[in-house]
Amino acid sequence: MADLPIAAVVRIAKKSGAERVGSDAAAAIVSKAEEYIGSLTKEANRLAQHAGRKTIKEEDVELAAKSA
C-alpha cells in the first residue's frame, strides 16, 4: 500500500501539464516518487550523520538532491 495519496499525485501531474492520468499511471508515479523520496532521505541522512547530527536539515536534502 502506498503512503502517498494518489489524488495528490494526480493533482501534481495535472498542474505539470497532464490532461488526464490513468489509474495505472498514477500508481506508477506514486511508486517512483516513493522510491525517489526513500533514496533522497537515505543520502540526506548519510550527510547529516557525516556532519555529526541525527537530524536531517534542509542543507542535507539540497546536497543529496544535487548528487542524485
C-alpha cell at 68: 542524485
Fold observed for domain 6-67: Histone, subunit A (1.10.20)
The residue extents of the domains of the chain are 6-67
Along the 68 residues of the chain, how does pLDDT read in single tens digits?
Answer: 679 999 999 999 999 999 999 999 999 999 999 999 999 999 999 999 999 999 999 999 999 999 87
Q: What is the pLDDT of residue 2?
A: 77
pTM of the full structure:
0.87
From residue 42, how far is each of 9, 26, 67, 68 by CA, in Å?
Answer: 22, 24, 12, 11
Establish how many alpha carbons lie within 13 A of residue 66's alpha carbon, considering only the half-sphere containing its beta carbon: 7
Q: What is the pLDDT of residue 33?
A: 96
C-alpha cell at 42: 537515505
C-alpha cell at 66: 544535487
